[in-house]
Amino acid sequence: MIAIIRTFAVILSLQMLLLYGCSVGSAGRSPEELFSLTVSGLSAREVYHFKAQSNSMEQAGKVQMKTAFDGVVQRHNGLQLKQTGGPRLLSSGGDSLGDDNYNPSALLEGLLKARAEVKLDASRSDAGTACLIITPDAKEATRIWRERLDGQWQSVRSLQPEQSSGWSRLDASKKREIKGRWGEELKQGERSWGDRMNSLAAQASYELLVDRKRLVPISLTETSKLAYRAEGKQTEEKRRIMFQFQSFR
């Protein structure tokens, strides 16, 4: 009987040790390791869906523009976005917002490659989830936003007066007048846009909520501050983009 009890005690001790070891292995990962594993876990998925919302706020904190969209990322087909609310930024049948910066996989991979600072927010983390705060340097944040905004501007530049629904009902002289005015507005817009992009400086931080067990993101929130010159004046605005991940395969 004593031998049986000793054997049982040894087995129980081993089981407890294994359980303790597994717990330490999960909770003991550094924020950088957890971030890297999550990026890899997301990229390995064949397909995943997400919902996102983008808010633009002026210096006083008033929301200037709110845009909502649904997204699907497939490993072999990239990103497909469908706008569901707000001013029209997406052309039909494609992504006009910039794949590298509105594709969560590409965005997170870029931050990982740029060696962005990663910290754990312990107050918002528990045994099942980890809240990571990711902060790229100013150069990387500016690059992200310059590419993102340039993608939106290229979408605007691609528009033509002929695409309007009432174009076919206009006479030839009216069409020439509208096209001339459109061309002048576009030139002025190009100059104004160039000034903004040349003076753009951005700061950004990312809040990534991670499922510790599955090593996939639950949500990703980007908060940015943009500074640039517009019409000869220094201007600041805040942007926030929130991704909520829906399903993974």
On the 0-12 / 13-18 / 19+ scale of CB atoms within 10 A, 148 is buried
Q: How confident is the model at residue 167, as a pLDDT?
A: 87
pLDDT in tens, 128-170: 999 999 999 999 999 999 988 887 788 778 778 888 778 888 8
Residue 6 pLDDT greater than 60, yes or no: no
Please give the CATH architecture assigned to the domain spanning 30-162+173-248: Clam (2.50)
**How many angstroms separate the CA atoms of 240 and 248, rounded?**
24
Q: How confident is the model at residue 11, as a pLDDT?
A: 39
Q: How is the chain split into domains, by residue range?
A: 30-162+173-248
**How many angstroms separate the CA atoms of 68 and 78, rounded?**
19
Q: Report the SS3 class of residue 144.
A: helix
Q: How confident is the model at residue 1 (pLDDT cuts 50, 70, 90)?
A: very low
**Residue found under tokens 């517009």:** 230
184-206 residues labelled b (16+ CB within 10 A) or e (exposed)? eeeeeeeeebeebeeebebbbbb
Ranges of beta strands (E only) in the chain are 47-58, 63-74, 78-85, 117-120, 129-135, 201-211, 216-230, 233-248
Q: How confident is the model at residue 164, as a pLDDT?
A: 78
Average model confidence (pLDDT) across the chain: 82
pLDDT in tens, 108-117: 999 999 999 9
Q: How confident is the model at residue 91, as a pLDDT?
A: 47
Q: How confident is the model at residue 81 (pLDDT cuts 50, 70, 90)?
A: confident
